[in-house]
Amino acid sequence: MSEQTSDWWRHAVIYQVYPRSFADSNGDGIGDLPGITARLDHLVELGVDAVWLSPFYPSPQADAGYDVADYQGVDPIFGSLEDADKLLAAARERGLRVIVDLVPNHTSDQHAWFRAAVEAGPGSPERARYVFRPDKPNNWQSVFGGPAWTQVPDGEWYLHLFDPGQPDLNWDHPEVRAEFIDILRFWLDRGVDGFRVDVAHGLIKQADLADWHYPVEPLTGPGTEGIRPPMWDQDGVHEIYRSWRRVVDAYPGDRVLVAEAWVSPAERLAAYVRPDEMHQAFNFEYLEAFWTESAQRAVITRSLAADAAVGAPTTWVLSNHDVIRHASRLGLPVGTRRPRGIGADDPQPDNVVGLRRARAATLLMLALPGSAYLYQGEELGLPEHTTIPDEVRQDPTYVRTDGEEKGRDGCRVPIPWEADAPSYGFGPTAASWLPQPEVWAELALDRQRGVPGSTYELYRAALRLRAERGLGLGTLTWAEAPDDVLAFRNGDLFVLTNFGATPADLPAGLTPLLTSAPLDGDGRVPQDATVWAV
């Protein structure tokens, strides 16, 4: 773990914890804050700099906690505010920073504001905090499927770009803006190091609420496969984040704001990380780029250039709680657009190929200058759970699309710590809110710790070398390479990824430092492998 320095976020490796699936302390089958606290030493051993916690606030759990009923509390299924304070203190003792999720686009329909809005009726001040209209004004569709408008008993309609249990706030309303300033200060006062801002691009809606044209077509061109075009990305969001930045900057210790913004092109995303706005923005164009030399080179070049133009670091990510784990996603045929979930009857990824590519992709990513995010369990090489029985799926996407989209449950399955323990060590009992596949046993942490060549030890070695060599603060320089081979230097480290079937030679005089897969008998780099060399 690197020493905490000023502007730590420019080069940090940040580990996402999905609380309900990380560690269960009380045996109810759902992970919790005490469970996270008990497992913080794992993050220290792994070598990350910070942890990002997905929502743990009071919530009816219509969308696994992203429907917040109270932004200044902790849901009893996860613990208490005292447990949150203990977690923050324990992380601080270990030199780990903590970022928490903030969900400002919408509340839960059980939030006191929304319950008051429904009760108060049309034209009331309470209703003005949300987006209500007397008639359904457009054809907008929910991200989770179905219409984005739901009618209340008095006949008016409210907007929810996600689940009906997640009504969108009206960010033109001064009370909404003031409330979230208070929420920021509440958690900053408790010692959090920053906020990952959910749906950061969505707060301000099109002023005319005009129809959208469906289906929304992805952009075309190298490296842009699967990226959504701007839909809600309205310029008014930037004023909001400038006001938040002033709040955050008033606290000591380099507190940060991180945008979850599905925005393209890269230049548009870079607007979120100008010097007086967010510190980081997730690079989803990188996450969704095809596994080819041309696509990877294009997205890396474009991302670095766009962020450099505003003086911001680039943030790299391969997996999170909303997408298919990259150990499986990369096992789909190259050129496959990322599906929104995989079920037992769908074409299955090749998890052997997927893990090989995932290890190569991780070494490539961790050698890039900037900050990187890891998703819990990827250090174990966990694949997507693609055979979850439909009757136990919980993602609202599955329900609202009548099963057409399997949703995100497959990447959210509780992770394995001990091969021979109940629930593979997730908790003290066999209970698990989503079923764990049998393969979890062989991938459990205790089966990989100390085993040369294991995915866990590969991550540990890469994170140690990344910190020692200052790769996050380095500069990328492309190197000449054969077709289907990507090569660059970051400082004195030479990085080569071979996407092609022909083994690739390392330049003369270089010695391999770390490899994602064994070199062939002649010391050449095989297909779907990355090498760090000096």
Its sign, for the CA torsion 471, 475, 479, 485, is: positive
Active site residue ranges: 198, 260
Q: Which two tokens stand for residue 7?
A: 């502007």
Spell out the residues 6+ positions from residue 97 whose beta carbon is closer than 8 angstroms to its own: 4, 8, 12, 49, 50, 51, 91, 193, 194
Bond prior to 215 in cis (omega within 30° of 0)? yes
- Per the DSSP assignment, residues forming a β-bridge with 130 are 169
Of 480, 492, 484, residue with least CA distance to 526: 484
Spell out the residues 6+ positions from residue 451 whose beta carbon is closer than 8 angstroms to its own: 457
What is the maximum alpha-carbon separation in the chain?
76
CA distances to 17, 50, 89, 155, 352 from 94, rounded to whole Å, are 16, 10, 9, 54, 35
Rounded Cα distance between 491 and 463, Å, is 16
Rounded Cα distance between 369 and 343, Å, is 36
Helix (H) or strand (E) holding 242, with range, is: helix 237-249
Its sign, for the CA torsion 256, 257, 262, 263, is: negative
Strands 132-133 and 476-478: unpaired
